Amino acid sequence: MPAIFDPEADILSGDTADVYFIRAQEILRQEDLNPVVTMEVFTSREGLLCGMEEVLALLRRVLPSESHVWALREGDTMTAKEVVLRITGPYGAFGLYETAFLGMLAHQSGWATAARECVHASGGIPIISFGARHVHPRVAAQLEYAALVGGFAGCATPAGARLGDVSPTGTIPHAMILIFGDTVEAIRAFDRHISPQVNRVALVDTFKDEAEESLRVAAALGDRLWGVRLDTPGERGRVTPDLVKEVRARLDQAGYDHVKIVVSGGMDAERIRLFVERGSPVDAFGVGSAVSSAPPIDFTGDIKAIEGKPVAKRGRIPGITENQRLRKIDLSPD
C-alpha cells in the first residue's frame, strides 16, 4: 500500500508542538547539551498500528544520518504497552517533534483499530468508509487512509483514496434526488453524465418505500444498474436485516438478480454482526461514525538511554526494552 506523506511547515516549525518541547530545545542549546538519546514509544493498549509511514517520513526529514530507528510496520497489530518505535539520535534533532509523531500514531491507530473491528464483524462482506463528514476536513484523508489500513475496501473522498491508492466510491446524495424530484430521474441523469467506469448505485429511500423504489430504478436502468443503497433514517426505523431480505426477494422475483444491495446508516461492528448472523443478503456496508468516533490510542515516548547509559524516569525501567518484532528502518529518503 504505497502512501506518500510529506510533513507540513507548521509541524516542522514546531508551531503545533507542546511549548515545553520548544523551550527545552532552547535551554539545551543555550547549555550546549545535545546528547545522543534513545527514545522508545509504546502504546497504551492493544490495537492496529497506523500512522507509522507518516511518522517515518517526518523522521527522515529531521534525523541526521548517523541516527537509528526501529519500528513495527504500518498495519501491524500491537499488544498493550508494546514498544512500536525506537529512535537513537541527537535529542536536539527530534525532541521537538514528540507531540507530532505521538499524535499521528494516536489518531490514525484509533481509527484503524475501529475499522478492523468492523471488518472482523462483516465476515468478508466489503465495507466502504463514509466517515469524512464526522471529522475535521484537515484529517479527512487520514481517517479514510486509516480505515483502508484497517481493511476497508474503499472510501469516499478523493484525498483519502489517493493516500490509500484506490478510487473513491459514492452513490448519489439525497440533496440531488430532492432537486430532481424523483429518484428515477436522478439516477438517469447520473447515468447520462458520469463515466461508465463508475458503478451506478441508486439511493432508494428518499421519496418512496425502499422496495417499491428499488423496483422502479431497476426497471429504468436495467443491466446498467450496479446496485441500490438503503440508508433508511432512524425516524423510519433504520435499515433492518429483514428489509434487505425483502428487497432482495422482490428484486429477484422481478428478475433483477444482478442488482446489488449496499447498506448504510449507523452501521457499527455490533450491527454489522447482527446482519451477518441473520443471514441478511448485504453486498456492501457503508460505515462512518463507527470509525470516526473511535478514541485515539494514546502513545507515550520515554527516554531510556543517554549516551548509551540506561536511564528512566520514576515508574519506568531504565534501558532498552526487548522487542524482536521491531525492524530496523532505512532512513535514506524514499
Q: Does 330 bind its own copies (CB under 8 A)?
A: no
Q: Does 281 bind its own copies (CB under 8 A)?
A: no
User: Binding marks (x or -) toward its own copies, 79..118, rule CB under 8 A?
Assistant: ------------x---x--xxx-xxx-xxx----------
Which stretch, 60-68, 216-224, 244-252, 326-334, contacts its own copies (CB under 8 A)? 244-252
CA distance 229 to 212: 13
CA distances from 63 to 38, 57, 99, 327 (A): 13, 10, 16, 18
Give the DSSP letter of residue 32.
T
Give the DSSP letter of residue 125.
-
Q: Does 16 bind its own copies (CB under 8 A)?
A: yes
If binding means CB under 8 A, how many residues of this protein chain bind its own copies? 116
Q: Which of 175, 324, 332, 333 binds its own copies (CB under 8 A)?
A: 175
Q: Does 322 bind its own copies (CB under 8 A)?
A: no
Residue 122 sits at the vertex; the CA angle it makes with 116 and 128, to the nearest 5 degrees, is 70
Cβ atoms within 10 Å of 41's Cβ, excluding its own: 21
One-letter amino acid of 282: V
User: Binding marks (x or -) toward its own copies, 187..226, rule CB under 8 A?
Assistant: --xx-xxx---x------xxxxx-xx--------------
One-letter amino acid of 53: E
CA distance 50 to 41: 14
Cβ atoms within 10 Å of 253's Cβ, excluding its own: 10
Q: Which is nearer to its own copies, 60 or 250 (CB)?
A: 250
Residues 132-151 that bind its own copies (CB under 8 A): 132-142
Q: Which is nearer to its own copies, 10 or 330 (CB)?
A: 10
Residues 17-76 that bind its own copies (CB under 8 A): 17-24, 26-28, 30-31, 33, 35, 37, 39, 51
